[in-house]
């Protein structure tokens, strides 16, 4: 490595020990900033030193971001090149290949897999990559080539729709980096077939994180009637039908998502037991209550109501309202599943909001299970944000 790599330094009161012990982020108020450091291009690879000028780590900097530096390697002399990327990808791939029989999973989960800001989902022969940090966006083509070499995929798509990219000053232009975009692909999961839209769908095309919660809900739904609210492409409903549910109704605001859900139900041979309704979820819950509808299992898996701290209080009120409207639709002795992907709303706050909503609906409940994201979405031990997904399952007493 040459000495041309720029150096940034922690302020005296910054916690250098946290970096030595594995903390992945350095905030802008922890860095000695001057015209030189502020002028560094976003994505620049730099050497991080403590206040006494002792080398700490190799980092990627984004001077305009609240997260000024992301730790790439605790070796201050590490070369961030194709070999380095391949080693990180190989470690991530080995974990997923050990977990799953088929190549459909979250392949890279950002900081937890040692690739800060990088999300990669695998759909068989296709990998969809979200380089949501400037350093990764600059190395996107090298990363794509390493992906092919390590995993054997033939298609690599760069998805630039991530909200975090804006915070890094990055564009929203998606493109095929290697191979082609297959469009809509069938994904086998929990005995069901899901249709993932790799071109126009949400995020990378499918949400793999709910896989274990889909399976748990399916175990509750055997022989029963299921309501899947905020269903997207049929996440909970199709898994429930595959697990032996009598029927399932999927509710979502997106007509294209419901069309994909219907297509998945057809491919799985479950179309006769599957129905959909398009519209605002809260309005649909109220309408179903007026109709006197009852279900043995009701699942609500909304988008993030509290995507940041500023939205926390409003988000918690929305979770409470959702629980209040969903609880009356659960048959006596049935089950209610409530999910949150808001990292700003921790488990305790989310649980309190749900408990309050169920109580306001006049129902008594037992909390029987708490679920999280699957093991292909590992948590970084020192990054609470990586534990974003919570799923609470209640039995509502007769």
- Assess if residue 25 is contained within a domain: yes
- pTM score over 0.85: yes
- Average pLDDT rounded to a whole number, residues 208-223: 98
- Assess if residue 369 is contained within a domain: yes
| Alpha-carbon dihedral sign for residues 249, 255, 260, 266 | positive
* Same structural domain, 167 and 254: no
The active-site residue, picked from 300, 339, 341, 354, is 341
pLDDT of 269 > 50? The answer is: yes
Q: Which residues of 95-129 are buried (b: 16+ CB within 10 A; e: fewer)?
A: bbeeebeebbbbbbbbbbbbbbbbbbbbbbebbbb
- Greater model confidence, 199 or 87: 87
- Assess if residue 2 is contained within a domain: no
Q: pLDDT value at position 237?
A: 98
pLDDT of 1 > 50? The answer is: no
Q: Are the C-beta atoms of residues 159 and 181 closer than 8 Å to each other?
A: no
Q: pLDDT value at position 347?
A: 95
- Average pLDDT rounded to a whole number, residues 215-224: 98
Q: pLDDT value at position 193?
A: 98
d(CA 26, CA 70): 6
Last residue of a domain, one of 182, 200, 221: 182
CATH number for the domain spanning 62: value is 2.30.130.10
d(CA 121, CA 209): 10
**Burial (CB count <10 Å: 0-12, 13-18, 19+), residue 161:** middle
- Assess if residue 138 is contained within a domain: yes
pLDDT bucket at 3, cuts 50 / 70 / 90? low
Task: Give me the domain span that covers residue 67.
Answer: 7-73
Give me the half-sphere count of Cα atoms (radius 13 Å) on the Cβ side of residue 344.
Answer: 15
What are the helix and strand counts (H, E) for the chain?
A: 12, 19
Domain count, the chain: 3
3 state SS of 57: strand
A 10 A CB-CB count for 286 gives: 13
pLDDT of 384 > 50? The answer is: yes
Reported as a single tens digit per residue, the pLDDT across 94-131 is: 999 999 999 999 999 999 999 999 999 999 999 999 99
d(CA 314, CA 311): 6
pLDDT bucket at 275, cuts 50 / 70 / 90? very high
**Burial (CB count <10 Å: 0-12, 13-18, 19+), residue 33:** middle
The mean pLDDT value of the chain amounts to 95
Closest CA to 210 of 365, 62, 8, 375: 375
End-to-end CA distance of the chain: 68
Q: pLDDT value at position 4?
A: 83
d(CA 302, CA 318): 10
* Same structural domain, 95 and 193: no
Q: pLDDT value at position 2?
A: 45
* Same structural domain, 147 and 203: no
Q: Are the C-beta atoms of residues 230 and 251 closer than 8 Å to each other?
A: yes
CATH number for the domain spanning 333: value is 3.40.50.150
- Average pLDDT rounded to a whole number, residues 191-197: 97
* Same structural domain, 31 and 152: no
Q: Which helix (H) or strand (E) holds 367?
A: strand 365-371
* Same structural domain, 37 and 130: no
CA distances from 171 to 7, 138, 159, 197, 371 (A): 27, 12, 11, 21, 35
Last residue of a domain, one of 73, 96, 111: 73
* Same structural domain, 200 and 302: yes
- Assess if residue 289 is contained within a domain: yes
* Same structural domain, 268 and 382: yes
pLDDT bucket at 386, cuts 50 / 70 / 90? confident
pLDDT of 177 > 70? The answer is: yes
* Same structural domain, 220 and 334: yes
Backbone angles phi, psi at 173, to 5 degrees: -95, 110
* Same structural domain, 176 and 136: yes
Closest CA to 15 of 42, 40, 41, 50: 50
CATH number for the domain spanning 168: value is 3.30.750.80
- Assess if residue 1 is contained within a domain: no
- Average pLDDT rounded to a whole number, residues 308-316: 95
A 10 A CB-CB count for 54 gives: 12
Last residue of a domain, one of 157, 182, 207: 182
* Same structural domain, 23 and 123: no
DSSP 364: -
Alpha helices by DSSP H, listed for the chain, are: 16-20, 35-38, 82-99, 134-138, 140-151, 163-167, 211-220, 235-242, 255-267, 281-290, 312-326, 347-360
Q: pLDDT value at position 200?
A: 77
* Same structural domain, 67 and 175: no
Q: Is 300 a catalytic residue?
A: no
* Same structural domain, 201 and 318: yes
Reported as a single tens digit per residue, the pLDDT across 39-87 is: 999 999 999 999 999 999 999 999 999 999 999 999 999 999 999 999 9
Give percent above pLDDT 90 in the chain: 91
Q: pLDDT value at position 168?
A: 85
- Assess if residue 230 is contained within a domain: yes
3 state SS of 81: coil
- Assess if residue 38 is contained within a domain: yes
Q: Are the C-beta atoms of residues 322 and 302 closer than 8 Å to each other?
A: yes
């Amino acid at each position: 490595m040459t000495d041309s790599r720029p150096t940034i330094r922690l302020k005296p009161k910054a916690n250098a020990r946290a970096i030595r012990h594995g903390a992945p982020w350095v905030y802008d108020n922890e860095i000695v900033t001057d015209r030189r450091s502020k002028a560094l291009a976003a994505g620049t690879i730099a050497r991080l030193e403590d206040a006494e000028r002792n080398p700490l780590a190799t980092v990627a900097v984004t001077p305009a971001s609240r997260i000024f530096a992301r730790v790439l390697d605790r070796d201050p002399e590490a070369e961030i090149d194709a070999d380095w990327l391949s080693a990180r990808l190989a470690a991530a791939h080995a974990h997923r290949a050990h977990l799953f029989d088929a190549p459909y999973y979250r392949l890279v989960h950002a900081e937890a897999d040692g690739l800060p800001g990088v999300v990669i989902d695998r759909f068989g022969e296709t990998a969809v990559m979200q380089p949501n940090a400037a350093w990764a966006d600059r190395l996107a083509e090298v990363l794509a080539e390493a992906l092919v070499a390590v995993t054997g995929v033939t298609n690599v798509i760069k998805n630039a729709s991530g909200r975090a990219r804006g915070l890094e000053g990055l564009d929203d232009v998606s493109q095929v980096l290697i191979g082609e975009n297959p469009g809509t692909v069938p994904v086998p999961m929990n005995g069901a077939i899901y249709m993932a839209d790799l071109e126009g769908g949400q995020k990378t095309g499918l949400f793999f994180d709910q896989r274990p919660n889909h399976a748990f809900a399916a175990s509750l739904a055997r022989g029963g009637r299921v309501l899947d609210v905020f269903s997207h492409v049929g996440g909970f409903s199709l898994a429930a039908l595959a697990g032996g549910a009598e029927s399932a109704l999927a509710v979502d605001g997106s007509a294209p998502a419901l069309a994909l859900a219907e297509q998945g139900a057809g491919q799985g041979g479950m179309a006769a037991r599957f129905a959909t309704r398009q519209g605002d979820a809260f309005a649909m819950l109220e309408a179903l209550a007026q109709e006197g509808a009852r279900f043995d299992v009701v699942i609500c898996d909304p988008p993030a109501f509290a995507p940041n701290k500023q939205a926390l209080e409003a988000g918690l009120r929305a979770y409470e309202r959702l629980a209040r409207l969903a609880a009356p639709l659960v048959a006596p002795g049935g089950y209610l599943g409530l999910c949150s992907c808001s990292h700003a709303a921790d488990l305790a706050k989310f649980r309190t909001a749900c408990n309050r909503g169920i109580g306001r609906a006049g129902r008594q409940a037992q909390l029987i299970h708490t679920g999280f994201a699957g093991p292909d979405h590992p948590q970084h031990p020192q990054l609470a944000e990586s534990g974003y997904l919570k799923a609470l399952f209640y039995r509502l007493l007769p």
